[in-house]
Structure 1
C-alpha cells in the first residue's frame, strides 16, 4: 500500500489491522514531513481490501476512506475492532478518543457499513460519552531516575462480542498519579452507545501500553484477559496481566519481569518498548497469545547493554461454564461412521447447549496418538469429519471431552 495515496506530500505512520469475515481493514495516520508526529498529524485513512484476493495471491483491489472527520476535525489514531470469538462482518466498528486531553469523556465510534464492492457502503462517525473520564498519562518511572515515554492516551486494543465492545488505552490513574490502564465497555451498539469505564492501577508500578483479547467459552460469557507493560523505580520493566469476568477484575498477575532497567538513548528518557500484542487462538477457546516488553541486561565484557526485549506468552483462563453440565444437559451421542474406517470417519453430536469439545485418538495402550480438534460446539446438531489416512491399521479409541471433562470413549477399527 502506498504511504502517500493522496499524492499530497504525506507519509503513513502507525498502521493497525483487523479482519472481518471477508475483508481486511488497515488504518494509518498521514503525517506532514518535517514535523513531529504529535503536531504533524494530517488525517487517518481507512484501507479496505478483500481477504480472498490476498489469500489467492491476486492483486489487491484496495480502497481507502479519507475525510473521516467529526465537527470539522479529523479523527486521529482510528483503531479497528475485531471480533472476539471469530471475525464478524460485513460491517466493522472502529474507535478513537481525544488522546492528548488531560481529562475527557469522548469516545468516537466509526462505523464502516459494508464491503468494498457494495456501492451503498458508508463511513459514519458518532460521539459517545463515558461515565468515567480518561486522561493522558504521565511518564513512567524506572530504576536510577530513568523514565519511559508513554506517548498519549490513544485506544490500543479492542474486540467485539456478545453485542458489546471492550477496549483499552493508556491513562492517568487519579488515585496514584501513576500511569494506569483504561478499560472501557460499549453496549447498546444499535442505539445511543452506553459506555462504562474502569481504571486499572497499582500502588507501586506504572502500567502502560495495554491490549485485550476475548477469552469466553460459551454464549454471553463476557470475559477477557488484559495485558500491559509494567515498570517502577524498584521493579524492572516487564509484562503483567489481569483477568476480567463480567464486571469483576482479578489481581494483577506477573507474566514476566526483566533483569534490568532500560538505558538505550542518551539521557534518562527512553522508549518503553513499547506496544503490546494480543490475539485469541480462535480454534482453542480460552487461549490467547500475547507479546510484551521487558528490560534485559546483556554483558558485553567491558560494557553492559540495558535494552528493550520482547516476551511472548500463551495465556489460558481457567474459568469455564458457571455450572457443571448436568446429566440431562450432556451431549447426546448420535453416531460414528463408518466403523471400521479406511480414510475418514464422521461423528454426529446433538448438543443441548454450547460446549467446548475436544477429540483425541488413543492407541490400545492408552497412549495419545493425535489431538484432532479442540473447539466450540453449538446447540443442536454438529457434524465433525476426521481423516484417518495417516493412521496405521489397528484398534484405536476416540476420546471426547465436553468443557474439559471426559464424556465418552468410542472404539474405532482402522482397516
Structure 2
C-alpha cells in the first residue's frame, strides 16, 4: 500500500517470454449518482497545459525535425483541392452538442463512446459527461476526479480514453494520474451494470510496474470479446527525447474481472516489444469494426520520428490470458507510400498549432483488413494531412500494406481517427474524422467518407468561431487525439468528438452523429433497444455463427412472441409464439442460416411488454 495515497497496489511479477503478470488490486467503488455538487472538486487548481506526449525535450526535437522537412517540402498555394469525378458520396452530419466542461485543460484530448441505448460518454482533459441522446440532456457532468475521491489534487489527471462494450452493454474509462514515479497510475474504471451513472469499480494500474523509476504516458485502449487492452509508454522523468523513452507496454486484462468488481484483475504486461533491435514506440491497439474481435488482438506502430518512412509495425497477441497459450508476433511491413512528419498547422494569428509526431492514432479491423490513420505531411502542398493506411491479408498472414493521403490545398488537417460505418462486415466503408485549420479557417472539426475506393468531399462537422490561444509562446496545443465510435446496433451511424475554437479563443469540444446516405440507415436496427422489463434477459454467446441461448425470467405465466428483425426493421423470423411459464426460461436458436451482420431479438408479452436485445451473426 502507498500510504500517502491510500491506493492498494499489489505486485507480483512472473517473467515468461517478455510477459509479466502483475497482481492488480481493486481500489474502491464509486457511485456517480451519489456525488453531490459539494463533493465535486471544482475548486482544485489545474495546470493549464497537460503533459506533453514524450515530455518537453521530445517536443523541442520535433520542432527541429519539422523545420527540416518544411524546408524540403515548402508550402504551395497554386494547387486545387482533392476531389475527383468518382468521389464517394458525402456523409450526413446530424445535429450535435457541445461536450465541453469548465475545468478542462489544453489540449482537449477528446474521447467518446456511444451505447446501443443512445447514451454517449465523452471525456477530455480533465472532465467527463454522460449524455442521453434520446432525452437530449446530460445525465452526469463532472471532473475525472469524481472517480478517485480523496486522491490529492497535487496529482494531475489527464489523457482519458473511453470505449463501449456492446457484448456487456458497458463503458470502460481509463485516465492517467500523476507523471512522476512513484506516483504514476493508469486509473481503470469498469461499471458494474449497464447504467453508467451507477457504481463503477476502480483499479489503479501501476504506472511504474517494474519499479524502475519510469512514468506511464499516452494510453490507448481496445476491447476484444473477452479482454481489455491498454498500450502505454514508459518514460524517464526529465530526460532528453533520445533517453526519456524507455519502452511501450501492452496491458492485457480480463474485462469480466473488472465488471464483476473482483478483488484483483487477471492481467498480463507484454514488454520488450522490439523488431530488428529497434524499440517499437507508441503502439496503438486495433478495434473491431462491426463488433469486438477475439481472441487475437492486433496493434500498430510506425517510425514516429522519421522525417519520412513507409515502415509499419504490426503486433499480434494470439490468444487470451485464460488460454495460457498467448504468444506475440511482430511483423515489419512497408506501405510503398511514404508518410512524412507533419508541419505545424497555421492559424490566422502567428501562433501555430502543434501536430506532434507520426504515431498511429486509430485502427479498425474488419473484412480481413486493418485500416489506420495518422498525422502526416502532404508533400504536394506542404500542408499537414491525414495518412490512411490499409493492411490486407489479416487472416492468412500474407500481409499487404498500402497508404493514401486525405489532404487539402489550403487547410491543415490533424489528429485523425477512424470508424467502420458499413452495414455488414463485408462493407469497406469508413468515416475518417479529423481537426482542421488554416489562415482563413478557424479551428474546427470535420470528416470524410471512404467507400472502399474513393473519398468524399471535406465535410465540416463544427465550424470554428475564433482562434486557439491559451498558452504563452508561439505554439498552441491542438491534439493529442480525437474521438470516434460506431453505434453498434445502428451500423451506418458513428459519433465523433473533436475540438473547435470558440469566439473567446478558448478550446471547446463538439459531439455529433455522422451517417451514410444509405436508405437502410434512416433508423436503428428494428426497434430501438430498450431496457428489459424482465428481471433477466441475456443472449449468449454474442456474436455467434451457430447457436445462441436466450435466457429470460417471466414475472408471471403468459403468452409471448419472440422474433428476429434485420437492420431495416423487417421481421426475419418468429422463433416462438405461445405460452411461457413464470420463472426462468431458456430458448436456444440457430443463426447459421442468417447472413453476417447485426440483428435484434424482441420479446412481446400478452401485456405488450417489450424487451429488445441486439446480436451479431459472425
Aligned to 1:358: 569
Question: By how many angstroms is 1:4 displaced?
Answer: 0.3
Secondary structure of residue in 1 paired with 2:444: strand
Structure-1 residue corresponding to 2:322: 117
Find the residue that maps to 1:30 and give its secondary structure: strand
Corresponding position of 1:135: 340
Q: Secondary structure at the match of 1:55?
A: helix
Inter-partner Cα distance in structure 1 for 2:339 and 2:606:
57
| CA deviation after TM superposition for structure 1 residue 391, in Å | 4.1
What TM-score results when the alignment is normalised by the length of structure 2? 0.54
Structure 1 residue 343: deviation in Å? 6.5
- Deviation sequence 1:261-311 (CA, Å, 0-9, x none): 01111122100144101111111111111111111133xxxxxxx221111
Partner of 2:292: 87
Map residues 252-271 of structure 1 onto 2, 5 A cutoff.
Answer: 252-271=458-477
Task: Name the residue aligned to 1:308.
Answer: 507
- Structure 1 distance, partners of 2:448, 2:437, is 16
Matched, 1:317 2:516: yes
Structure with higher RCO (Cα < 8 A, 6+ apart): 2
- Unaligned runs of at least 5 residues, structure 1: 299-305, 322-340, 350-354, 361-376, 397-415
> Which residue matches 1:384?
601
C-alpha separation between the residues in 2 aligned to 1:39 and 1:137?
A: 23
CA distance in structure 1 between the partners assigned to 2:422 and 2:596 by the alignment: 20
Q: Kindly provide the CA deviation profile for residues 32-90 of structure 1, in whole angstroms up to 9, marking residues without a partner as x.
A: 01126675111000001112111111121121110011111211111100100000100
Among 44, 50, 65, the residue aligned to 2:270:
65
1:242 equivalent in structure 2: 448
TM superposition shift of 1:141? 0.4
Consecutive unaligned residues of structure 2, counting only runs of 5 or more, are 1-204, 521-556, 572-592, 611-618
| 139, 162, 175: which one aligns with 2:367 | 162
- Aligned match of 1:32 in 233, 236, 241? 236
Does structure 1 retain, via aligned residues, the 8 Å contact 2:425–2:596? Answer: no
Distance 1:385 1:38, change over 3 A: farther
* 1:31–1:37 contact (8 Å) kept in structure 2: no
How far, CA to CA, are the matches of 1:238 and 1:37 in structure 2? 30
Partner of 2:545: none
CA distance in 1, matches of 2:209, 2:605: 50
Query: For residues 385 and 271 of structure 1, what CA distance do their matches in structure 2 show?
Result: 48
2:287 partner SS: coil
Instruction: Specify the SS of the correspondent of 2:210.
Output: coil
Which deviates more from structure 2 when the two are superposed, residues 23-32 or residues 71-80? 71-80
- Check the 8 A contact 2:354/2:479 in 1, yes or no: no
The answer (yes or no) to whether the contact 1:274–1:293 under 8 Å persists in 2 is no
* Conservation of the 8 A alpha-carbon contact between 2:415 and 2:479: no
Say whether the 8 Å CA contact 1:217–1:320 is kept in structure 2.
no
Secondary structure at the aligned position of 1:203 is classed as coil
Match of 1:265, SS? coil
Q: Is the strand fraction higher in 1 or 2? A: 1
Counterpart position of 1:289: 495
Residues 222-249 of structure 1, C-alpha deviations (whole Å, 9 max, x = no match): 0100000000011000001000001111
Kindly tell me: are residues 52 and 257 of structure 1, through their superposed partners in 2, closer, same or farther at Cα, counting changes over 3 Å? same
Deviations 1:176-225 (A, max 9, x none): 00000000110012233111111110011000000000001024210100
| In structure 2, C-alpha distance between the alignment counterparts of 1:384 and 1:78, rounded to whole Å | 38
User: Could you tell me which residue of structure 2 aligns to residue 8 of structure 1?
Assistant: 212
Under a length normalisation based on structure 1, what TM-score does the superposition of the two structures give? 0.79
Select the residue among 187, 195, 209 that pairs with 2:415.
209
Deviation per CA, 1:329-377: give whole Å up to 9, x if none.
xxxxxxxxxxxx957421257xxxxx523279xxxxxxxxxxxxxxxx9
- Residues of 1 paired with 2:334 and 2:607: CA distance? 57
User: 1:53 corresponds to which residue?
Assistant: 257
Distance 1:264 1:36, change over 3 A: farther
2:106 aligned with 1:106: no
- The farther-off stretch of 110-119 and 203-212 is 110-119
Deviation at 1:379, TM superposition (A): 2.6
1:409 corresponding residue in structure 2: none
Q: RMSD of aligned C-alpha atoms?
A: 2.4
